[in-house]
Amino acid sequence: MEEENEKLRKDIINRLKRIEGQVKGIQGMMEKNVCCPDILVQISAIRSAINRVGGLTIEYYANNCLGVEEGSSEQETLKQLIKTINTFVK
């Protein structure tokens, strides 16, 4: 479980770095006076990426901060809840 949590944490960090690059890209597009629809497409991509990071962060929180025992029925219920939340925020 620890290895999975570390992988999840690194995934969140990598996604945040990618989002940071996308935001800087939009900044550059604005400075170059790029057509607004192109900018809006990029903003939409960032919103989607942020939603995914939020879902992964909820998963990380559930795994590390709630004190649910590994292999318990509560853990299975929590996994189902996380899956449902991630489906909702897509």
Three-state SS at 4:
helix
**Domain 2-89, CATH class in plain words:** mainly alpha
How do residues 59-85 score in pLDDT, each as one tens digit?
Answer: 899 888 888 888 888 888 988 998 898
Report which of residues 1 and 81 the model is more confident about.
81
Task: Provide long-range contacts, Cβ within 8 A and 24+ apart, for 8-13.
Answer: 8/56, 8/59, 8/60, 8/63, 9/60, 11/56, 12/53, 12/56, 12/57, 12/60
How do residues 33-47 score in pLDDT, each as one tens digit?
Answer: 999 999 999 999 999
pTM for this prediction: 0.82
Cα 57 to Cα 3, 54, 72, 85: the distances in Å are 16, 5, 21, 11
Burial class of 63 by CB neighbour count within 10 A (0 to 12, 13 to 18, 19+): buried
